Amino acid sequence: MEYAENILDTIGNTPLVKINHLAKELPCLVLAKYETFNPGNSVKDRMALQMVLDAEADGRLQPGGTIIEGTSGNTGMGLALAAVVKGYKCIFVTTDKQSKEKVDVLKAMGAEVIVCPTDVAPDDPRSYYSVSRRLGDETPNSWYVNQYDNPSNCKAHFQSTGPEIWEQTDGKVTHFIVGVGTGGTISGVGSYLKMKNPNVKVWGVDTYGSVFKKYHETGIFDENEIYPYITEGIGEDILPKNVNFNIIDGFTKVTDKDAAIYTQMLARIEGMFLGNSAGAAMKGVLQLKEHFNEDDVVVVLFHDHGSRYVGKMFNDEWMRKQGFID
């Protein structure tokens, strides 16, 4: 008989799926690393489990402990899966920008969820960074995860996602493109692929209102780049330690409108019911058209599932209110 010992054993080994219609203007083969096949429906399951395993191994996470993290939703889901199987409590801190579905899913998994305002500085005591750190200090027998600076984040993708992409493409991958938030995915996968072939190009997809692109190009952390944006799951107003700018060849920025519209188009044209960052990543691939030729194999990673955005990007009334559609 073939079966998994528990749900955590089903994380990883997600498929590559060809992008057909939306990539027809490109000269190359475009393949999606389809991470919604993970049990928590996102790429974050990989690094959540790795962070838990490493924290258990070095004693930061003790039996019966409480896992505390600031999350846009998906890392929280991965941590919640691990917590259910392993017997931990969870407290997650998120922002009021995130979809209601994400908050509801975390609560469905038994987590306590605290919602903080988006439009405050990272060091403001009301920010979700500050609140999660404070809870980590104040809660007995707790572990503050800190996915932004936790090296286990990159480690997970160096050890699993990167090797999977290399093997699934038979080593023919030439470009890796992914939205950047904590930086773990692009840095872990990018480091592995460049180790196997230094000529692989690694591109990050950023959003307007985030600091990554300008910092990468100039080395300047420009606070004038920071302003509120709607796109979920990518971009930052801080520089996480997990973002290894040395292995990133460049960034392309995608507007909130394009990210939302392409999220809908992936569902309606490709049959791919995916999250907001997938729309941004798909538009990012198209914006990088001039960098591809007919022999290239482009892999774009799609982070999470469309079910977490049915009240937003998949709701035409919401889209009209944002001015994204007529």
- Verify that 155 and 140 share a domain, yes or no: no
* 326 assigned to some structural domain: no
Contact 212, 155 (CB under 8 A): no
DSSP 162: H
| CATH number of the structural domain spanning residue 180 | 3.40.50.1100
Q: In this predicted structure, what is the pLDDT of residue 128?
A: 87
Listed residue (166, 200, 184, 248) closest to 42, CA to CA: 184
Residue-wise pLDDT for 205-248, tens only, equals 999 999 999 999 999 999 999 999 999 999 999 999 999 999 99
Give me the domain span that covers residue 26.
Answer: 7-38+151-321
Which residues are bridge partners to 207 per DSSP? 254
Residue-wise pLDDT for 257-312, tens only, equals 999 999 999 999 999 999 999 999 999 999 999 999 999 999 999 999 999 999 99
3-state secondary structure of 307: helix
Bridge-based pairing state of the strands 16-18 and 29-34: antiparallel
What whole-number distance in Å separates Cα of residue 69 and Cα of residue 166?
A: 31
- Verify that 104 and 67 share a domain, yes or no: yes
Residue-wise pLDDT for 88-109, tens only, equals 999 999 988 888 888 999 999 9
| The model's pTM | 0.95
- Verify that 119 and 167 share a domain, yes or no: no
Burial of 155 (0-12, 13-18, 19+ CB in 10 A): buried
- Verify that 138 and 156 share a domain, yes or no: no
- Verify that 228 and 95 share a domain, yes or no: no
Other C-beta atoms lying within 10 Å of the C-beta of residue 251: 20
Q: In this predicted structure, what is the pLDDT of residue 135?
A: 94
pLDDT bucket at 118, cuts 50 / 70 / 90: confident
Which is more confident, 127 or 272? 272
Q: In this predicted structure, what is the pLDDT of residue 121?
A: 86
Mean pLDDT computed over 32-47: 98
Q: Which residues are catalytic?
A: 44
